[in-house]
C-alpha cells in the first residue's frame, strides 16, 4: 500500500526551478558572495599592514615574512579540486561554512604565534585551505542562479574585495595603535567567522523541466473495469449507424465505477513521500568530472589562466618600489596604489555591464580586455614621473578589473565548458592557476635582483599576459571545431543505423494498401 503526501519544502532544501531564475534567491547569494570576497581576498590584500610589525617581533627579513601570503595563496589555489569534490559530495553550504571556521581558526591561532614558521602553518596552510573552501563554492553556486545577468551580477558582487582594501587597511592600522598587532589580528579572525553566516545562505539549486515523481492513480477494481468496458462497447455499437463516436461519461457508468478525468499536469513541484521500500536509488553525482581535460577549448582556456596569472600579482607588489626608485614620495606612491584599486572597481562593473548585453560573444570581449591589459603592463617602464605612473596605474587597474572579475564565471559559457561542468572546470582551472600564482612573484623578484631594475618585473608580467591572450584566442576555434566533429560523428552513426532497404520496398507497401482499400469497398 502506498500513501502520497504533499510536503512543503523547508528552507534547508534545494530551490527547484524549471529554468535558471536569473534572480530570486540568487540575489541573496550575490549578497553573500560580496562579503565572502571582502573577507577572503580583501583580507589577503590588506595583510601588508602587519608586515613591519611581524618583521620587528620575529626579527625576520621582508622576504621570509612575505612567504606567509605566498603560501596562503598557493594553498588556496592548489586545493581547488578538493573544494570541488567536497562541494559535490556535501553541498556548497557545508563546505563554505567549514571554510569560514578554518579561516577564523588560522587567524586567531596566528595571533599567539611565536615564530614565523607558526605563521606559515596557521595563516599559510590552515587559513589558506579555508579561503579555498569559502571562495570557490560561492562563486560557483552564484553562476548557477543567473544566466542572462550572470556577468553583471558576478562582476558587481566581486567588488567586495576592492571595497575591503579601502576599509580594512586604515581600520586595522588605527586598531593596531590602540591594542597592538596581536589583538588586531585576533579581531580580524573573529570578524572572518561571519563567513559561516554567509555560507548558511547558500541554498542549492536544481533545474528540472519535468516532475521528479508522479503520483499514480489508484487501480480500479476488476469488476468495475469489466462493467466500464461493457458500457463502452454497448455505446459504440448503438452509435455505429450514425457514424458518431460517443465518449462514455462518468455519469453513464453503472454502479460506483469512475472514469478517469483528463487533467493537466501540475506545474508546481511536489515532494512525494512513499511508505514502501521500492524507491529507486538516486543517480550518483561525479565528485570531480575530469572529462573537461579532454575538451580542447578548456585546455586552451586553462593555459590562458596559467600565463595571465603571472601578470595579476606582481604589479601590485612592485608599483610602490618602482615609484620610490623614480624619486616619488611614499605618500604619493600610496595614492598611486589607491587609484589602481578604485579603477579596478569601475573595471569590474563595466565588464559585467558589457558582457550582459545580448547578443554578444563574451570570449571575444575578454580577449580584447586581455590585449589592453598587456599594453598597460608594457607602458609602466616608460613612465618617468608621478602623473605618468598614475595614468598607467589607473589604466592597468581598470583593465585588471575587467579580466579578474570575469575569467572564472566565463567558464560557465558554452564557448568554454558550459554551466553543467562549471563546478569541476573551476576546480581544475584554479588548480592550474596555482602554479603561476606561486611562481609569478618570485620570478619577478629574481629578474629584479638580476637586472637591478624594477621595469623587468613588468616586462615579465606583460610577456605572460601576451601568451595568455594567444591561448585565449584559440578557445573559440577549438570549441567550434570540436562541435563540428561531434556533429559529423553523430550523422555518420545515424547513417549506419538505417538498414539497406530494397528498391521495391515502398512499391510493395503501396500495392498492399491499394488491394486492402479495394477489399473494403467490396464489403
Does residue 172 contact residue 164 with C-beta atoms inside 8 Å?
no
- From residue 79, give the alpha-carbon distance in Å to each of 74, 222, 359: 8, 63, 36
Using the predicted structure, report yes or no on whether residue 339 has a pLDDT greater than 70: yes
DSSP 415-429: TTT-GGGHHHHHHHH
Q: Where in the chain is the domain with CATH 1.20.1250.20?
A: 15-209, 288-495
Phi, psi of 260, deg, nearest 5:
-75, 115
Does residue 378 contact residue 462 with C-beta atoms inside 8 Å?
yes
Interatomic CA distance for residues 120 and 126, integer angstroms: 9
Phi, psi of 205, deg, nearest 5:
-130, 140
- From residue 352, give the alpha-carbon distance in Å to each of 156, 308, 327: 7, 19, 38
Rounded to an integer, the average pLDDT of 260-269 is 44
In sequence order, what are the residues at sequence separation of 6 or more whose Cβ sits closer than 8 angstroms to the Cβ of residue 281? none
Predicted structure pTM score: 0.62
User: What is the pLDDT confidence band of residue 94, given thresholds at 50, 70 and 90?
Assistant: very high
Q: Of residues 512 and 126, which shows the higher confidence score?
A: 126
Of the candidates 201, 445, 465, which has an alpha carbon nearest to the alpha carbon of residue 307?
465
Q: What is the pLDDT of residues 107-125, one digit of tens each?
A: 999 999 999 999 999 999 9
Q: What is the pLDDT of residues 31-76, one digit of tens each?
A: 999 999 999 988 887 787 787 788 888 888 766 787 888 788 888 8
Using the predicted structure, report yes or no on whether residue 219 has a pLDDT greater than 70: no
Interatomic CA distance for residues 174 and 321, integer angstroms: 24
- From residue 327, give the alpha-carbon distance in Å to each of 85, 323, 390, 394: 50, 7, 14, 20
Interatomic CA distance for residues 154 and 29, integer angstroms: 10
* Cell digits of residue 39: 573577507
Q: What is the pLDDT of residues 381-430, one digit of tens each?
A: 888 888 988 999 899 989 988 888 778 778 877 778 777 777 778 778 87
% residues pLDDT > 90 (the chain):
17
Cα 177 from chain centre: 40
What pLDDT, on a 0 to 100 scale, did the predictor assign at position 194? 93
Helix ranges, 239-286 (H):
none
Architecture in CATH for domain 288-495: Up-down Bundle (1.20)
Using the predicted structure, report yes or no on whether residue 459 has a pLDDT greater than 70: yes
Interatomic CA distance for residues 166 and 181, integer angstroms: 19
What pLDDT, on a 0 to 100 scale, did the predictor assign at position 24? 81
Interatomic CA distance for residues 408 and 35, integer angstroms: 18
Q: Which residue has the cell 627579513?
A: 61
Does residue 224 contact residue 260 with C-beta atoms inside 8 Å?
no
- Exposure on the CB side of residue 465, measured as CA atoms within 13 A: 29
Using the predicted structure, report yes or no on whether residue 193 has a pLDDT greater than 70: yes
Q: What is the pLDDT of residues 144-190, one digit of tens each?
A: 888 778 778 888 888 888 888 777 877 888 888 889 899 999 999 99
One of 1.10.287.1080, 1.10.3720.10, 2.60.40.740, 1.20.1250.20 is the CATH number of 15-209, namely 1.20.1250.20
CA angle 216, 222, 225 (to 5 degrees): 75
Does residue 297 contact residue 363 with C-beta atoms inside 8 Å?
no
- Burial degree of 512 (CB within 10 A; 0-12, 13-18, 19+): exposed
Cα 336 from chain centre: 32
Helix ranges, 146-291 (H):
150-157, 160-192, 195-200, 222-238
DSSP state of 19: S
What pLDDT, on a 0 to 100 scale, did the predictor assign at position 209? 62
Rounded to an integer, the average pLDDT of 13-33 is 80
Helix ranges, 410-504 (H):
422-451, 455-473, 475-497
Give the least confident one: 11-15, 104-108, 259-263, 395-399: 259-263
User: What is the pLDDT confidence band of residue 210, given thresholds at 50, 70 and 90?
Assistant: low
What pLDDT, on a 0 to 100 scale, did the predictor assign at position 308? 87
Give the least confident one: 61-65, 209-213, 365-369, 473-477: 209-213
Amino acid at each position: 500500500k502506498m500513501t502520497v503526501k504533499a510536503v512543503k519544502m523547508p528552507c534547508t532544501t534545494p530551490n527547484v526551478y524549471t529554468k535558471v531564475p536569473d534572480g530570486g534567491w540568487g540575489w541573496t547569494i550575490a549578497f553573500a558572495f560580496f562579503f565572502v570576497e571582502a573577507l577572503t581576498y580583501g583580507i589577503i590584500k590588506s595583510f601588508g599592514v602587519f608586515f613591519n610589525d611581524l618583521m620587528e617581533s620575529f626579527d625576520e627579513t621582508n622576504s621570509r615574512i612575505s612567504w606567509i601570503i605566498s603560501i596562503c595563496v598557493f594553498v588556496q589555489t592548489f586545493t581547488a579540486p578538493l573544494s570541488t569534490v567536497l562541494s559535490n559530495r556535501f553541498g556548497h553550504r557545508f563546505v563554505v561554512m567549514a571554510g569560514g571556521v578554518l579561516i577564523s581558526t588560522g587567524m586567531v591561532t596566528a595571533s599567539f604565534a611565536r615564530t614565523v614558521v607558526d605563521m606559515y602553518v596557521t595563516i599559510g596552510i590552515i587559513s589558506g585551505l579555508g579561503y579555498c573552501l569559502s571562495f570557490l563554492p560561492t562563486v560557483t553556486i552564484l553562476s548557477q542562479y543567473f544566466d542572462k545577468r550572470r556577468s553583471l551580477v558576478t562582476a558587481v558582487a566581486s567588488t567586495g574585495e576592492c571595497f575591503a582594501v579601502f576599509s580594512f587597511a586604515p581600520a586595522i592600522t588605527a586598531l593596531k595603535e590602540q591594542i597592538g598587532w596581536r589583538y588586531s589580528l585576533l579581531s580580524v579572525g573573529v570578524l572572518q567567522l561571519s563567513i559561516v553566516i554567509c555560507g548558511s545562505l547558500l541554498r542549492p539549486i536544481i533545474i528540472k523541466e519535468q516532475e521528479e515523481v508522479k503520483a499514480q492513480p489508484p487501480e480500479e477494481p476488476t469488476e468495475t473495469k469489466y462493467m466500464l468496458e461493457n458500457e463502452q462497447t454497448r455505446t459504440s455499437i448503438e452509435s455505429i449507424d450514425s457514424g458518431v463516436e460517443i465518449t462514455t461519461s462518468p455519469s453513464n457508468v453503472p454502479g460506483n465505477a469512475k472514469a478517469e478525468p483528463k487533467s493537466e499536469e501540475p506545474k508546481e513541484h511536489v515532494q512525494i513521500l512513499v511508505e514502501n521500500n521500492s524507491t529507486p536509488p538516486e543517480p550518483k553525482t561525479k565528485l570531480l568530472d575530469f572529462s573537461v581535460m579532454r575538451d580542447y577549448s578548456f585546455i586552451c582556456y586553462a593555459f590562458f589562466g596559467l600565463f595571465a596569472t603571472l601578470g595579476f600579482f606582481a604589479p601590485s607588489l612592485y608599483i610602490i618600489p618602482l615609484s620610490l626608485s623614480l624619486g616619488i614620495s611614499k605618500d604619493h606612491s600610496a595614492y598611486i596604489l589607491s587609484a589602481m584599486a578604485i579603477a579596478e572597481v569601475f573595471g569590474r562593473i563595466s565588464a559585467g555591464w558589457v558582457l550582459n548585453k545580448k547578443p554578444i560573444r563574451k570570449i571575444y570581449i575578454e580577449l580584447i580586455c586581455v590585449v589592453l591589459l598587456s599594453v598597460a603592463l608594457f607602458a609602466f617602464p616608460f613612465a618617468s614621473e608621478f602623473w605618468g605612473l598614475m595614468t598607467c596605474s589607473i589604466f592597468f587597474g581598470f583593465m585588471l578589473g575587467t579580466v579578474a572579475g570575469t575569467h572564472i564565471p566565463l567558464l560557465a559559457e558554452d564557448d568554454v565548458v558550459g554551466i553543467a561542468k562549471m563546478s569541476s572546470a573551476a576546480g581544475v582551472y584554479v588548480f592550474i592557476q596555482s602554479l603561476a600564482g606561486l611562481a609569478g612573484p618570485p620570478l619577478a623578484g629574481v629578474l629584479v635582483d638580476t637586472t637591478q631594475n624594477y621595469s623587468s618585473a613588468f616586462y615579465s608580467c606583460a610577456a605572460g599576459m601576451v601568451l595568455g591572450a594567444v591561448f585565449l584566442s584559440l578557445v573559440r576555434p577549438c570549441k567550434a571545431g570540436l562541435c563540428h566533429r561531434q556533429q559529423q560523428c553523430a550523422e555518420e552513426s545515424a547513417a549506419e543505423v538505417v538498414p539497406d532497404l530494397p528498391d521495391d520496398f515502398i512499391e510493395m507497401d503501396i500495392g498492399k494498401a491499394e488491394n486492402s482499400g479495394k477489399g473494403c469497398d467490396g464489403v
